[in-house]
Amino acid sequence: MPSIIFFFEVHQPYRLNKALHSKLLEKAFRGRIDINDVEEAIFDNELNKYVLNRVADRCYIPATKIIIENIEMFKNTSKPFKVTYSISGVLLEQALKWRRDIIDVFRKAVDTGMVELAEQTYYHSIVAFMPNYGFDELREQILEHKKIVKELFDYEPVSIENTEFTYNNDIACFLNSLGYKAMLTEGVDWVLGWRSPNYVYKARDCDIRVLTRNYRLSDDIGFRFSDKRWDQYPLTADKYASWLASTPGDLVFIAIDYETFGEHHWPETGIYEFLRWLPREISRHGNLDFTTPREAISRYPPRDIYDVPSWSTISWADERDISAWLGNELQWEAFKIISELRPYVKAVDNIDIIKLWKKLTISDHYYYMATKFGSIGEVHAYFSPYKNAAIAHGLLMESLGLLISIIAEEIRRNPNKILSKLELPWNKAFYFYLPTGEFTGISARSIPEFLLSLEKAPLESILFHLNRGDFENWIRNVFFLDQVADEIMKIRTEAEAIESKLEKLKKIISMLVTY
């Protein structure tokens, strides 16, 4: 008896403001800007509120009411109807601000006992792929999501997806170490080979179970439902139920965007009626029932290993890789900057700045920068609020520039407190070289470490860097401390003994880490 898992992804991002005000930019570069001004300028909350209201009225409210109606209809039968939701934290956050009835209707669904909630990152982000800090930030965003799900629904998930079903062995085992029992991802042909997606698998090197989406049957609803050019149009509930009944395997994992019901396919396409009648048509087939990921991993043993090396990460988008978000230079440039800002944000330790930075990790910002053609390019264009990838890139880079200005101002206000905690990524560290170009083996990723390095580095190396202006450039460009850099420049140009210059340099640096 194959079991049907219906999984619905529920997410809306914070879209960037296409009219990012030039006056605000000017104030930022002069160091006179407030974090609340930046938040208001960066995000187009009029548009965000409008989209949320539209999708709530077209999808979230009516579709969930249909789900609840079917749950109640089959609740006391031998085949109760069950579904699984994965709701991003930023969607819940927007609902709390602008449409609390979204929370209410989802809560009513969860309270039936027939709904599983899956974990994901709070910000629906791609932070797992950040160099140096990926899993640390991934843990933080998962815990933040866990907290809001507990607060709003009194629910603790055991299944989890990484954003957009991105998956590799390392991510799976990391999530297993956090206690999750099942991970949800795409049934990719080149990973499965001759095998079917319709079974439970196990991750390589750890015990977490892996459920793989049947993308053909999922996309029949998600993408092809209202396509009149499709040779199976129109897709009716009884036709689709018959396809499920003839599908071999232990389970059929159907995963789609929840916005499919009323937003991507408008109500006049008949999508509501399809959703309303589908559970009833499935129930007519004696070989089918409904389940959730939590139940499926208890019911069915794993058939094999799902092996995806870290260098071949998969997803449910585009070519089933991560090129939808990190497939071109525009995306990588922005992602490199947001990644490198994390240690600064953590050192500043301001909740508003941290929140702003995390909102800029939302995967949609990077998705909008894709430069693809054909049907895949059309999908990107459909979701993007901007005309093209260049505009999306420019807006995100301006937003990151504003964030950097805020961080720089915070450091200038309180350098001692912040710089004592700031540890740089390796590509921003200071490396001590000899005049011959030979590396001394000494480097510094923080101001305290730099001070220690001045004690260990050969004098000729220190003089080499001092005379070239390397110290002042590092202080200016990496720590945003122009005044301190200017003082170091004065030391370099003063006609004093080498020993005196070195002592002055150490004194200036020591002042930056005094508690």
Whose tokens are 């843990």? That residue is 139
From residue 188, how far is each of 44, 308, 405 by CA, in Å? Answer: 36, 10, 43
Task: Assess contact for 492 and 467: CB atoms under 8 A.
Answer: yes
Please give the DSSP secondary-structure letter assigned to residue 117. E
Task: Assess contact for 142 and 119: CB atoms under 8 A.
Answer: yes
Q: Using CA atoms, how far apart are residues 225 and 265, in angstroms rounded to an integer?
A: 7
Task: Kindly report the length of the chain.
Answer: 515
Q: Using CA atoms, how far apart are residues 181 and 45, in angstroms rounded to an integer?
A: 37
Which among 497, 3, 494 is positioned nearest to 282, based on CA atoms?
3
Which structure tokens are listed for 147? 């907290």
B/e letters for 402-411, b = 16+ CB within 10 Å, e = fewer, are: bbebbbbbbb
Q: Using CA atoms, how far apart are residues 6 and 76, in angstroms rounded to an integer?
A: 19
Residue of 137, 161, 164, 398 with catalytic role: 164
H-state helical runs in 232-373: 237-245, 271-283, 293-299, 323-326, 329-348, 351-359, 363-367
Find the helix or strand (DSSP H, E) in which 83 lies: strand 83-87
| 3-class secondary structure, 15 | coil
| 3-class secondary structure, 139 | helix
Find the helix or strand (DSSP H, E) in which 43 lies: none
Q: Using CA atoms, how far apart are residues 138 and 364, in angstroms rounded to an integer?
A: 17
Integer distance in angstroms from the first to the last C-alpha of the chain? 67
Which among 330, 419, 402 is positioned nearest to 366, based on CA atoms?
330
Q: Is the dihedral of CA 55, 396, 391, 318 positive or negative?
A: negative
H-state helical runs in 284-362: 293-299, 323-326, 329-348, 351-359
φ, ψ of residue 165 in degrees (nearest 5) = 65, 20
Task: Assess contact for 453 and 385: CB atoms under 8 A.
Answer: no
Establish whether 164 is a catalytic residue. Answer: yes
- Catalytic residue numbers, as ranges: 164
